[in-house]
Amino acid sequence: MTPLLAHDRYCDEIARQVGLLRSVVTSGADLSGTVPTCPEWSLEDLVRHMGAALRWVEFIVRTRAQEEVPEERVPGLAGPGARGDAAALDAWLAEGGEQVVTALREAGPDTKVWSWAGILNSGFWARRMTHEITVHRADATLAAGLPYEVAPEVAADAIDEWLQIVEFVQRTVPQDEVSELRGPGRTIHLHATDTRPGLDAEWLVELTEDGVTWRRGHEKATVALRGPLTSVLLAFYRRLPLDARELDVLGDRELLEFWLQRATFG
């Protein structure tokens, strides 16, 4: 499916999300505190992971890399030497954000570069980094106890992209847990209850014998996940529990839990 957003909008959104993540870093939040949705990381670990990803992608796009780039080749990827320095972490994150947005704008969406998903252009990375930082900013804001919002069209496109990633992993990594997401006759319906006119924010996911397929639309399913779009997004990315008060699960909850346990990047 064609991405919902234009290349320039992805670039704008990366810049916006970097700014919002920076505001978490400088909010006075405990950088050493555990991130509940990524419990192996502290808040500082999460920010360093995100900042490193931005610099890695910037290097791939700027150099027009045609194969995977080892992290040790990327200047500044490790981040500030001292831990716990919010000002240094903020400045490093800001610089990385500016660099990747500049590289993506200069490349445009169609420049040929390596990617891990078989979509060999810079447009892949603009979209991927938009949703990578959108979801990791949720991790950071939830850890810091701050409010989280995301534009409806960005949230809807993040769900599209996640489903496309699941399809890709199922096709190309047969040993991954996602290979277990097969039919017949099982379906999942995602239903956002608060979207604006003109934005179709319902999905039907089918687990067929040949693999996962999906489409937009309102259809009956084995199980339905209903709620505000941001909450549906976070639940589908395993950032919000299914029993959150703003969500409803109708039908076979075990099937939805089965999906969430196995729908991965590989």
The token pair at 60 is 């791939």
9-40: b (≥16 Cβ within 10 Å) or e: bbbebbbbbbebbbbbbeeebebeeebebbee
Domain boundary among 144, 176, 210: 144
Clarify whether residues 183 and 229 are in a common domain.
yes
Clarify whether residues 120 and 21 are in a common domain.
yes
Clarify whether residues 138 and 235 are in a common domain.
no
pLDDT of residue 266: 44
Look up tokens 């995602």; give the residue. 190
CATH code at position 248? 3.30.1050.10
Q: Is 51 exposed, middle or buried (0-12, 13-18, 19+ CB in 10 A)?
A: buried
Domain boundary among 144, 179, 206: 144
Number of compact structural domains in the chain:
2
In a domain, residue 186? The reply is: yes
CATH code at position 100? 1.20.120
Clarify whether residues 242 and 182 are in a common domain.
yes
Overall pTM > 0.75? yes
In tens digits, what is the pLDDT along the chain, a chain of 266 residues?
578 899 999 999 999 999 999 999 999 999 999 999 999 999 999 999 999 999 999 999 999 999 999 999 999 999 999 999 999 999 999 999 999 999 999 999 999 999 999 899 999 999 999 999 999 999 999 999 999 999 999 999 999 999 999 999 888 887 778 888 888 889 999 999 987 777 889 999 999 998 899 999 999 999 999 999 999 999 999 999 999 999 999 999 999 999 999 987 64
Backbone angles phi, psi at 252, to 5 degrees: -80, 90
Which residue segment(s) compose the domain that 70 sits in? 7-144
